Chain A
Amino acid sequence: MGTETKSQTTTAQKFQALILDIFFGIYFVVTLHRVFYYQVLLSLRKLPPVTVEIVLLYIGIGTILGLALFVLNASPGKLIFRQLPDIPWKKAVAEHFLWIIGVLTIATGWVVTRVSILDFFSQEGLAGAKRIFSALLSPEWSILPQALLAIVETIYLALMATLFALPVAFILSFFTARNLMRQSPITLGIYTVLRVLVNFTRSIEPLIWAIIFTVWVGIGPFAGTLALMVHTIASLTKLYSEQIENVDPGPIEAIEATGAHPMQVIWFAVVPQIVLPFLSFTIYRWDINVRMATIIGLVGGGGIGTLLMQYQGLAQWHEVGLLVLIIAIVVWIMDYLSARIREALV
């Protein structure tokens, strides 16, 4: 039975290696042609249009290339999954192919993000940089009261988002902890659905949630709070449940062996192990939320970010300078405090 499962996993791994090879093949052909040939060799500003024929051609050539490498055992996919037979020259081919892919990727990145040393050091550009930095460095102090009020709003916004998220995440975390949920197919189903939901929610940035909620409840701090809350629930649930998955099962056995009720087992054997990490994660999250809350204001989520957006729109850089200064100080203080508190806890 042991050998059977082993051969099964290698078949699966072989398949993965093949998929990877085909992907590398297509990726190689596309980047070589469109980036290296057109933009580096020919320095074209405007690329020829992508047609269906050319896409099919890319896929075709790339697949043949990937298959060839796979069959000839010079396969970068097999190299990555450590199933390449030990033949030096074939290994060298696979390794060099991966290096070329790496270089092509950096070249593509360079082209796509339009890195331009010329723009960075141009006369005009440097003058602009000088203008904005000198303005930022001489902040306009007259708007201090307004700015302080806004940052207080931001801190409370972050606090409320964290506090609202906490109980929801706490309860959800028990249902998304694999060690507690693998007992029956039903609980495992609940676990899987919740896990997918949580991961999906978490992968959407708070900024995008803020845009959604400004449409839903209108522009203002409430939209910002909701956006942060949703994201915080998702990420705290993940952190909490990972902590629950890591609890030492020993005390659970010991308390079960005394004839204790399941509630007593959770209270005396699980909770003491998770309460401090939970607290630590929560404070850390509040700290992150203050930082995020300043950004969320940019899309109308309230707080100091909204103020920043207004002054930036009017190109009043001295006022912007003060706001940036205050954000920096508050974020630094929060960062320091949360680190100290977490140190004291663990």
Chain B
Amino acid sequence: MALIELRKLNKIYPNGVHALVDVDLTVQEGEFLVVIGLSGSGKSTLLRCINRLIEPTSGQILYRGQDVTHIQGKDLRQYRKKIGMIFQQFNLIKRRTVLLNVLTGALGSLPVLPSILERFPDNLRQEAMEKLRIVGLEDKWNVRVDALSGGQQQRVAIARSLMQHPEVLLADEPVASLDPATSHSVMKYLKQLNTDYGMTIICNLHFLSLVRTYGTRVVALKQGKLIFQGKPEEITQEWFKEIYGEEAEEVEIA
């Protein structure tokens, strides 16, 4: 059974923008799926529909065969817990420490009141330290995140999502605001989660060179439509021009 299945998914924003048009997509467990396309092609919307940060206008979302398109409240929160997410802008709580930011990843399994008083159980703190070790930041646990570099902040965000014990990790342009060297370091952590922990990764990317290095499968969006599905090496020059437009030139990321 497929892990995630999208059926005829449509999203029309209140301003009339048709961001997703009849998208059918199946994601198998253990894939490193890369989504490519121009800015505004609907990549971010697609990712946010999967964990329902954005409500699709029509269509169906199935998770392990179960319809999650309209679940609400506690069910929705339980479902979101299984799906970690990292963002282009990292979206950390800037004035707080690395450790607290990682701990917020566990909010879905904590009762509301104690968590608001920031009473986190000791075993959770230890676990947060372990996650920081995975991303190589255990010595920074007591530093405010706004004192970290972009690459380090993205690794904190990865550690935060690991606290959810996610089955899937959604990565929305995770390296778009990072320099080339840092980009590779962050992508390697994602690859490691995919190969060592068998985590399914769905990742929006700009650079084709990164796609070829890290992805196991690629889909391309253009004006909200899914126009390509296949292996990274199957993206020929013709497909490239089709996806990015006639004027586009491929640039390598070092």
Name B157's closest neighbour in chain A (CB-CB): A254
Could you tell me if B53 and A253 are in contact, using CB atoms closer than 8 angstroms?
A: yes
10 shortest interchain CB distances as A-B pairs: A259-B108, A259-B81, A250-B91, A254-B91, A260-B107, A259-B80, A257-B85, A259-B77, A267-B116, A264-B107
Could you tell me if A253 and B115 are in contact, using CB atoms closer than 8 angstroms?
A: no
In Å, the complex CA distance between A276 and B94 comes to: 13
Residue interface bits A231-275, CB-to-B below 8 A is 1, else 0: 000000000000000001011011111111101100111001000
Could you tell me if A257 and B116 are in contact, using CB atoms closer than 8 angstroms?
A: no
Name B111's closest neighbour in chain A (CB-CB): A261
Q: How far is the CB of A259 from chain B (nearest CB, A)?
A: 3
Residues of B bordering A, CB below 8 Å: 16, 48, 51, 53, 77-81, 83-85, 87, 89-96, 104-110, 112, 115-116, 157, 160-161, 163-164, 170
Could you tell me if B89 and A257 are in contact, using CB atoms closer than 8 angstroms?
A: no
Q: Would you give 16 A-B contacts (Cβ < 8 Å), ordered by A? A: A248-B91, A250-B90, A254-B85, A254-B160, A257-B83, A258-B104, A258-B163, A259-B80, A259-B107, A259-B164, A260-B104, A260-B107, A267-B116, A269-B93, A272-B94, A272-B96
In Å, the complex CA distance between A276 and B116 comes to: 18
Most buried by A among B80, B85, B104, B112: B104
Q: How far is the CB of B105 from chain A (nearest CB, A)?
A: 5
Could you tell me if B83 and A261 are in contact, using CB atoms closer than 8 angstroms?
A: no
Contact check: which of B78, B87, B163 meets A254 at CB < 8 Å? B87
Name A268's closest neighbour in chain B (CB-CB): B104
Q: Is A117 engaged at the interface, CB distance under 8 Å to the other chain?
A: no
A258-B160, A264-B112 in contact; A250/B87 too (CB < 8 A)?
yes
Residues of A bordering B, CB below 8 Å: 1, 248, 250-251, 253-261, 263-264, 267-269, 272, 276
Could you tell me if A257 and B77 are in contact, using CB atoms closer than 8 angstroms?
A: no
In Å, the complex CA distance between A268 and B96 comes to: 10
Question: What residues of A have a CB within 8 angstroms of the CB of B157 in the complex?
Answer: 254
Q: How far is the CB of B4 from chain A (nearest CB, A)?
A: 15
Name A256's closest neighbour in chain B (CB-CB): B53
Question: What residues of B have a CB within 8 angstroms of the CB of A251 in the complex?
Answer: 91-93
In Å, the complex CA distance between A272 and B104 comes to: 13
Question: What residues of A have a CB within 8 angstroms of the CB of B108 in the complex?
Answer: 258-260
A250-B91, A264-B112, A268-B93 in contact; A255/B77 too (CB < 8 A)?
no
Question: What residues of A have a CB within 8 angstroms of the CB of B115 in the complex?
Answer: 264
Most buried by A among B16, B83, B93, B96: B93
Contact check: which of B53, B94, B112 meets A263 at CB < 8 Å? B112
Question: What residues of B have a CB within 8 angstroms of the CB of A248 in the complex?
Answer: 91
Question: What residues of B have a CB within 8 angstroms of the CB of A259 in the complex?
Answer: 77-81, 107-109, 164
Name A276's closest neighbour in chain B (CB-CB): B95
Contact check: which of A250, A258, A272 meets B95 at CB < 8 Å? A272
Q: How far is the CB of B53 from chain A (nearest CB, A)?
A: 6
Could you tell me if A260 and B93 are in contact, using CB atoms closer than 8 angstroms?
A: no
Question: What residues of A have a CB within 8 angstroms of the CB of B105 in the complex?
Answer: 258
Question: What residues of B have a CB within 8 angstroms of the CB of A255 in the complex?
Answer: 104, 107
Question: What residues of A have a CB within 8 angstroms of the CB of B92 in the complex?
Answer: 251, 254
A250-B87, A253-B53, A272-B96 in contact; A261/B77 too (CB < 8 A)?
yes
Name A5's closest neighbour in chain B (CB-CB): B16
Question: What residues of A have a CB within 8 angstroms of the CB of B93 in the complex?
Answer: 251, 268-269, 272
Contact check: which of B16, B78, B80, B94 meets A257 at CB < 8 Å? B80
Q: How far is the CB of A281 from chain B (nearest CB, A)?
A: 17
In Å, the complex CA distance between A255 and B161 comes to: 10
In Å, the complex CA distance between A263 and B163 comes to: 19
Question: What residues of B have a CB within 8 angstroms of the CB of A268 in the complex?
Answer: 93, 104, 107
Contact check: which of A1, A257, A260, A269 meets B53 at CB < 8 Å? A257
In Å, the complex CA distance between A138 and B143 comes to: 57
Given A253-B87, A258-B108, A268-B104, 7 other A-B residues pairs in contact with their CB atoms under 8 A = A253-B85, A258-B160, A258-B164, A259-B79, A260-B104, A264-B116, A268-B93
Question: What residues of A have a CB within 8 angstroms of the CB of B164 in the complex?
Answer: 258-259
Q: How far is the CB of A135 from chain B (nearest CB, A)?
A: 53
In Å, the complex CA distance between A272 and B93 comes to: 7
Question: What residues of B have a CB within 8 angstroms of the CB of A258 in the complex?
Answer: 80-81, 84, 104-108, 160-161, 163-164
Most buried by B among A264, A269, A276: A264
Q: How far is the CB of B156 from chain A (nearest CB, A)?
A: 11
Question: What residues of B have a CB within 8 angstroms of the CB of A257 in the complex?
Answer: 51, 53, 80, 83-85, 170
In Å, the complex CA distance between A197 and B79 comes to: 41
Question: What residues of B have a CB within 8 angstroms of the CB of A260 in the complex?
Answer: 77, 104, 107-108
Question: What residues of A have a CB within 8 angstroms of the CB of B116 in the complex?
Answer: 263-264, 267
Q: How far is the CB of B203 from chain A (nearest CB, A)?
A: 15
Question: What residues of B have a CB within 8 angstroms of the CB of A261 in the complex?
Answer: 77, 107, 112
In Å, the complex CA distance between A317 and B16 comes to: 69
In Å, the complex CA distance between A269 and B115 comes to: 13
Question: What residues of B have a CB within 8 angstroms of the CB of A253 in the complex?
Answer: 48, 53, 85, 87, 91
Question: What residues of A have a CB within 8 angstroms of the CB of B48 in the complex?
Answer: 253
Name A249's closest neighbour in chain B (CB-CB): B91
Q: How far is the CB of B205 from chain A (nearest CB, A)?
A: 19
Q: How far is the CB of A178 from chain B (nearest CB, A)?
A: 14
Q: How far is the CB of B3 from chain A (nearest CB, A)?
A: 17
